[in-house]
Chains A and B, each alone.
Chain A
């Protein structure tokens, strides 16, 4: 089977039954922003802004390269942003401006 065909048959999340290495029993306590991101996902679900299935599909839509390169909660926040762009609830410009503002807050010492 060609590599291209395999990409169509198996979307990035669909890994059940594939071969893989040994189970590494890794765990870590979530960093504060990761926990906030998890709580955000729950609140987006409660508020019927993004449900669990939309979130999963949003992660899948990042494509296998980004799914492979980003961490778990990194994938989530990028997916949430894309989903709200698609729904017309935010624009990429809104987010880019706000990110600049947040970054600037940390770059300059707070009074």
Chain B
């Protein structure tokens, strides 16, 4: 074992057959299938529940979070509601919360930069961003983000001036965070949809800023 927190980086052997080619399932896949079938047989879960939840998971992508951010940039009243109660404001835009979590939206400003992490595991605002990237779940980010955020951010190519305060928020099972990034300069004339297309998952985690649109860089 070379990396004690390898998560799932293909550091261990398991087959990756091309789609359509049958390869025998590994030990843990067999365990997952057996566990699920036992629960269905005993009526503890419905036969279609897992498939339906997969459809829910597949419907959640960072595009939802980007829509929320763009709306907050163009609508000051919405931004106020979003910062007061993240979940209720997302629900206004038709984004349902399938889990029983609270959402706190953290606004980046000229003087404060926010970063989110889950030091204990992998809590993440899944209803609005989908599933987290592997690096968010791995040791290096979880261990270091809370003690040396500036160094961590620099590894993502993000240099935060020393006079800007960095706030790191540690997620829990019940409380999740989303960063509201700053609207880039040079986007004054853009409509909401074009603005949303600029907003990336990593900007809503707080590891990068939202870049100005190509060809409209202002400096």
Tell me, rounded to whole Å, the shortest Cβ–Cβ distance linking B156 to chain A: 7
Q: In the complex, are the beta carbons of A95 and B35 less than 8 A apart?
A: yes
Q: Which of B45, B100, B134, B139 contacts A47 (CB 8 A)?
A: B45
* Distance A33 CA – B152 CA, assembled complex (angstroms): 32
- Say yes or no for A103: interface residue by CB 8 A criterion: yes
Q: In the complex, are the beta carbons of A28 and B120 less than 8 A apart?
A: no
CB within 8 Å of B: which A74-110 residues: 74, 77-78, 80-81, 84, 89-90, 94-95, 98-99, 101-103, 106-107
Residue in A51, A64, A106 whose Cβ sees the most chain B Cβ within 10 Å: A106
| Interface bracket on A | 35 or more
Q: Which of A13, A28, A33, A80 contacts B9 (CB 8 A)?
A: A28
* Distance A35 CA – B156 CA, assembled complex (angstroms): 27
Contact with B along A19-37 (1 / 0, CB 8 A): 1111111111010011111
Q: In the complex, are the beta carbons of A72 and B8 less than 8 A apart?
A: yes
* Distance A38 CA – B119 CA, assembled complex (angstroms): 19
Tell me, rounded to whole Å, the shortest Cβ–Cβ distance linking B13 to chain A: 11
| Given A15-B119, A15-B143, residue A40 in contact with residue B57 (CB < 8 A) | no
- Say yes or no for A43: interface residue by CB 8 A criterion: yes
Tell me, rounded to whole Å, the shortest Cβ–Cβ distance linking A72 to chain B: 5
Tell me, rounded to whole Å, the shortest Cβ–Cβ distance linking B163 to chain A: 25
Q: Which of B1, B44, B57, B135 contacts A39 (CB 8 A)?
A: B57
Residue in A80, A81, A98 whose Cβ sees the most chain B Cβ within 10 Å: A98
Binding site for A on B (CB under 8 A): 1, 4-10, 12, 24-25, 28-39, 44-45, 49-51, 53-54, 56-57, 98-100, 117, 119-123, 131, 133-135, 137-144, 146-147, 152, 155-156, 170, 173-174
